[in-house]
Structure 1
Amino acid sequence: MDPEIAALAGTAGTTVVTLMATNAWESTRDGMVALWRRFQPSRAESIGEELEAGREELLLAREAGDAESEAELTAEWQGRVRRFLLARPEAAEALRGVLDELYPSAPEQPGTERIRLEAHASGQARVYQAGRDQHITER
């Protein structure tokens, strides 16, 4: 198997599961469904349903403190994306585009820079840091 496909599938599966429990969930689902619709239209609807079911499983697992289920779900999506790319290798570039839109800070390409944030607070100080979007509500 092409190592590039394996690496891309690993990144995609991890990213999808990571974003299932975030505010970016709808964009994640829509991006993945659009990808399947473009390259395997007959599977697009079922992929959307599988993503929704996976999200429900993830949220329940996190609520129960079940990290093993999250790891299994990640492996499942990595495998699903890998099989998709093996069947449709021409979809790799489109998948990279989806991932860049969803999770631009994920280091996929050689030479991609990482952001390192460091802060020190003392007393009653508060520190807010974000590598991307940040929403703070204080009362």
Structure 2
Amino acid sequence: MDQLTLAQQIQQFAANHTLMVVAWVALFVAVLINFYKGATSKIKVVDNAQATQLINNEDAVVLDVRSDDEFRAGHIIDSLHLIPSEIKGNKTQSIDKHKEKSIIVVDNNGLSAQGLANTLAKQGFNKVYVLKEGIAGWRAANLPLVKKHK
């Protein structure tokens, strides 16, 4: 049995495992795209400790984008409240005075806030952050929430 060169071994492996090779290449490309988006995005994801520092040291504004009922059930103290349709519809007059401040967008779990944060950045908000894991992560860390009764 003669020895195969590395190039021949790779070629033989790729031929025998085409689906796996395609999956790895796709995964690699996805990671590169995600890394590039993260490096060029104006939006930064912050954890609970970073959010607390922004609130305490930079007078950051917490913008809760959950439903009215979810907001009333418990939110971060001094949070402002807008629903996603208001942000998407550019109905942000109630927070426009905070365009130069740090804004921390908070949702239930950190997933939908990213898109809303991007929308705010496009609308002229300069320092937009997303709370990693949202209120669920905040609550899991036993950090304080206040309730609003109507």
User: Normalising to structure 2: TM-score of the pair?
Assistant: 0.25
Larger Rg: 2
Looking at secondary structure, tell me which structure has more helix per residue: 1
Identify which of structures 1 and 2 has the higher relative contact order when contacts are C-alpha pairs closer than 8 Å and 6+ apart. 1
More strand by share: 2
